Structure 1
Amino acid sequence: MSQIAPKTIATWYVDPEAEERMADGHAPIWRHLVDLIVERDLKEKCVLDFGCNQGGLLRHLYAIRPFRKALGIDIAEQSIAKAEAFKGNLPVQHAVGGSLEGWVEEFDLAISHEVIYLIENIDAHAADIWRALKPGGVYYAVTGCHTDNPLWPKWRELVAKRTNTVVQDRSISDYGRAFAKAGFDVSGRKLEYDGFIPFVEDGWTPDFADALDYYTQTKVVFRLVKRRGGVAA
């Protein structure tokens, strides 16, 4: 495996403590996502978490469906440092960076959770993931941050204010076209989280009804399969 040239930030959130709260809030969503993954047996598989933050998703995945090895990559240096500190004896490597240059046909499964809406060049990202996956490999990309989200005009302002990132405006169809262009077979579904959603007044959802709709109707999961024998567009 090659090293990845970093293009970094210190933390995702302007308030670093917000990242800890975010991880706690995402934990039940991660477990739900793991249950949606079609590939059940990962014991001999190599997994990628793109935009892994503090590594929580990979730790949850390993606890539910152990994998052979994994890479978590993120542009936030302090988040990666925490991911390394938290991983214990898990077969996980972490790296700071925003691309997978040099990682060719390495991964059987790739995941990203609420990352793709922040990627400036989505076509380059799609091609990057396509190259990094083995033939027949699958990428699950999850986001509720898209222009089809009725809360998006408010959210894009909050993302710009609260994080050290640059917001991108894309629709669900925009993502589908980008991944299809890269050579993926594209499908998707609503996340349809079926657990209880906490009542939290943090500014993201004006009303509790908005939070309920977001996790059941707005948040989407793309399943992107690298065609065997195909070539990147």
Structure 2
Amino acid sequence: MTQLINTWSKDASEEDSMTDEHAWIWREMIDCIPHADLSQAKVLDIGCNQGGFLRMLYDTRPFAEGVGVDLAQDRIALADAAKAARPLSYLATDTLADAGTGFDLAFSHEVIYLIEDLEDHARQVAAVLKPGGTYDAITCCHADSPLWADWRPRIAAFSNIPVPNHSVADIAAAFRAAGLDLSISRFLAKAFIPNEPPSDYFPSDLARLETYCTWKLCFRARRPA
């Protein structure tokens, strides 16, 4: 079992900014959901942090029940405090079965690259999805991205958990080994990317565009019906 932590980042302000920084990507995730009606759906957010994605999803496309899980206990407390009357619950755990089973949809955003044992993760996902349920795991943090060699030590310096070095092939193989049907997309290939000045993570405008549009991938794993 992975030890629970208080925050993922050694600098809590890094996490406090995620809701605003990731909101535009969460909207793209919602637009890609392969179901017209979510009113009866049960939804799981893996690595939910402060719960912003499930709140946005419910406010945009209401669903029956949502559960968020994360290793970071302090973030879970913040998520729970912010849910208001939405049908959401949050758990600090590394065991997906603690959240229940029979999920129609599961999501993670920039989480799978931090999971050491990908095969165990994929098996857990397969066990909690209902037949025909799907899991969208979205990340640009993988060994095939040209910027990853620079990013990995930067992330490791402030992360409270180890930062593995998974390739696209590693992630894909884990899902296939769990018996899940896998498809992969270049997630933001046709999206308009918010433009910001070059930074430590994106040394140029083109590097930002290439990273998001070419190397940010969606691994869609489906439990066979």
What TM-score does the superposition give when structure 1 sets the normalisation length?
0.91
**1:204 and 2:208 are equivalent in the alignment:** no
8 Å CA contact 1:104–1:131 kept in 2: the answer is no
- Find the counterpart in structure 2 of residue 169 from structure 1: 165
Higher alpha-carbon deviation: 169-178 or 71-80? 169-178
8 Å CA contact 2:193–2:212 kept in 1: the answer is no
8 Å CA contact 2:91–2:99 kept in 1: the answer is no
Q: Which runs of 4+ in 1 moved over 6 A?
A: none
Q: Equivalents in 2 of 1:50, 1:166: separation in Å?
A: 17
The answer for unaligned runs of 5 or more in structure 1 is: 229-233
8 Å CA contact 1:197–1:212 kept in 2: the answer is no
- Find the counterpart in structure 2 of residue 156 from structure 1: 152
Q: Equivalents in 1 of 2:135, 2:27: separation in Å?
A: 17
Aligned-partner SS, 2:57: helix
- Find the counterpart in structure 2 of residue 60 from structure 1: 56
**Quick one: which of 80, 102, 106 aligns to 1:110?**
106
- Find the counterpart in structure 2 of residue 123 from structure 1: 119
Offset of residue 101 of structure 1: 3.3
Higher alpha-carbon deviation: 89-98 or 18-27? 18-27
Over 3 Å counting, the alpha-carbon distance change for 1:42 and 1:6 in structure 2 is farther
Offset of residue 213 of structure 1: 1.3
CA RMSD of aligned residues (A): 1.6
AA of the residue aligned to 2:16: E
Q: Equivalents in 2 of 1:84, 1:200: separation in Å?
A: 35
Over 3 Å counting, the alpha-carbon distance change for 1:129 and 1:93 in structure 2 is same
- Find the counterpart in structure 2 of residue 214 from structure 1: 211
Percent of residue pairs identical: 40
Offset of residue 102 of structure 1: 5.1
Q: Equivalents in 2 of 1:133, 1:214: separation in Å?
A: 30
**Quick one: which of 165, 182, 185 aligns to 2:181?**
185
Offset of residue 157 of structure 1: 0.4
- Find the counterpart in structure 1 of residue 220 from structure 2: 223
Aligned-partner SS, 2:185: strand
**1:76 and 2:92 are equivalent in the alignment:** no
8 Å CA contact 2:67–2:99 kept in 1: the answer is no
**1:195 and 2:186 are equivalent in the alignment:** no
The answer for unaligned runs of 5 or more in structure 2 is: none
Q: Equivalents in 1 of 2:197, 2:114: separation in Å?
A: 24
AA of the residue aligned to 2:15: E
State the aligned residue count: 224
